[in-house]
Structure 1
Amino acid sequence: MEHEQAFELLPGYIDEELSLSEALEFERHLAGCALCKQAYEQQRQVSTQLRQADLRWEAPPELAQRIRAALPGRRSLWQRLAVRLAGTGAFGGRAGTGGAGARLGWAPAGAMVLSLVALTWSAGLYLSMPPGDTHLTQELVDSHVRSLQFDHLYDVISTDRHTVKPWFDGKLDFAPPVIDLAQQGYPLVGGRLDYLNGHAVAVMVYRYKLHPINLYVWPGNDAGATPHIAERQGYHLAHWSAAGMNYWAITDAGEAELNGFITNLRAHPAS
């Protein structure tokens, strides 16, 4: 690792934002570089001082009371909905309005009701998900986004599975399956280490046209055999288990493209 690259990674290392492989590489460079050690200590001290400094200013109680007193009263959601419905004639009609006017008045009220129902249904669906799955899904999305932002999709860059697979030897306590899907339109472009769900995982990086696909793999059988594609924060992702391994795939490509990748991957004899 060169000094320039180390300086770029230094803030992320201090804030614990680097991937496992980036952090390990940075620490190896730091151990043998006095200049980077000095820069690290300086930034670490500044960061510590900023966190410990009393930079918060408490407003006097009188000021807070005056602000609250000046704010208009706010009705609850149900109170606002009731007023809206009453104003549109839902509870007996508005004085001086005909049937056509009442029907027109129902339009915004109806939209509000539909929005409320949709919000309630979405919240129920989210809360029904197991907390562990929800947390892991967010970890995966964050990892995928971080790999794109730091321009660090790969620790090893190669389209040859016989180069990528041996690269993981000695870095993990399991041997991840590495499959070439170039003929199916999903070429392998590299691999990297990451840290998810409390342990190190293997990541194989594929592409569909210009869309990267991160395939996370680690031992376990805590998912169903049939993948289910979901969407989160604009990314499509899927989870399944096979041959004693957990698989998570995530991409910004469309659902059909991700489904094609999974179908070809699962059809391969080595999967």
Structure 2
Amino acid sequence: MDHKEILELLPAYVDQELGLSDMLAVERHLAGCADCQREYAEQRSVSVGLKKAAPYFEAPASLAQRISASLPQEQLNPAPRYRSWSFNWLNAGIATLSVLAIVWSAGLYLGLPSAQEQLTEEVVSNHVRSLQANHLADVASSDQHTVKPWFNGKLNFSPPVVDMAPQGFPLEGGRLDYLDGRPVAALVYRHNKHPINLFIWPSTGKDAAPRAQERQGYHLVHWVFGGMDYWAVSDLAANELDDFVKTVQSEVGK
């Protein structure tokens, strides 16, 4: 796809509405196009900002009365009783529909995923795509001194790359990925034939203890340490992924 086609797909990519082939095409283009990276970051920032800052209004019980009072009143000349009755029911019906519309809109807003939930879904989607497209590693190596330098010039930070083969989690390589509106490092480990993606990028928050969760049958653990965001995701059992996270923390903290 050319630059123009990618720009047309970005809104759907932000909302995670693309098919697998289009998603992969957009991600490949983003990895090497600074202009599209900036455009994607701006669109995602707007999307996240709207979800965070949009006000939530709870319709008061008196809303129907106020709507009814604002509707045109009957003329001073009295109309037949059946006409007054029909107008009252009409007003009540309009007020009811207005209340239902507000409640429906509020339900749609409340149903939108938070920024953290959206990022969690992105992490899982990127992990799944790396498996389906057979693209786990751009640099395939079990040598941390080969993988770490490979990221030089490709990222504006240096991800920690540790060797955990003695603990049962051998390094298989690394690749560039795209998460949270920016390029990130993806380190690939394996345990008993189960691939593990470890996504890393700079964090603006304080250190945070590991937090485990599950999405679509995959286990994820997120934590913040030393100015870096870490996301580990795999189809490993929860306790095995927990062991992996503890090993990463131990090695990185040395």
Q: Calculate the TM-score normalised by the size of structure 2.
A: 0.58
CA distance in 1, matches of 2:117, 2:31: 30
CA distance in 2, matches of 1:132, 1:180: 32
Pick the aligned partner of 2:24 from 17, 24, 46. 17
Name the counterpart of 1:215: 198
Name the counterpart of 1:148: 131
Residues 152 and 129 of structure 1, relative CA distance in 2, 3 Å threshold = same
- Specify the SS of the correspondent of 1:226: strand
CA distance in 2, matches of 1:213, 1:162: 19
Q: Deviations over 1:193-216 (max 9, x none)?
A: 001110000000000111000000
8 Å contact kept, 1:204–1:214: yes
- How far off is 1:268 after superposition? 1.3
Q: Calculate the TM-score normalised by the size of structure 1.
A: 0.54
Amino acid in the other structure paired with 1:257: E
Aligned-pair identity (%): 51
CA distance in 1, matches of 2:227, 2:148: 18
CA distance in 1, matches of 2:129, 2:250: 30
Pick the aligned partner of 1:229 from 212, 217, 226. 212
CA distance in 2, matches of 1:25, 1:195: 7
- Count how many residue pairs are aligned between Structure 1 and Structure 2: 160
Question: RMSD over aligned Cα, in angstroms?
Answer: 2.7
Pairs within 5 Å for 1:92-111 = none
CA distance in 2, matches of 1:25, 1:249: 21
- Specify the SS of the correspondent of 2:130: helix
- How far off is 1:223 after superposition? 6.5
8 Å contact kept, 1:160–1:188: yes
CA distance in 1, matches of 2:214, 2:204: 22
8 Å contact kept, 2:212–2:222: yes
Amino acid in the other structure paired with 1:143: N
CA distance in 1, matches of 2:127, 2:190: 13
Name the counterpart of 2:141: 158
Name the counterpart of 1:242: 225
- How far off is 1:229 after superposition? 1.2
1:179 matched to 2:162? The reply is: yes
- How far off is 1:266 after superposition? 0.4
Runs of 4+ off more than 6 Å: 24-27, 127-130
Structure 1 unaligned spans of 5+: 1-11, 28-126
Structure 2 unaligned spans of 5+: 1-18, 34-109
Name the counterpart of 2:182: 199
Higher relative contact order (CA 8 A, sep 6+): 2
Q: Deviations over 1:59-86 (max 9, x none)?
A: xxxxxxxxxxxxxxxxxxxxxxxxxxxx
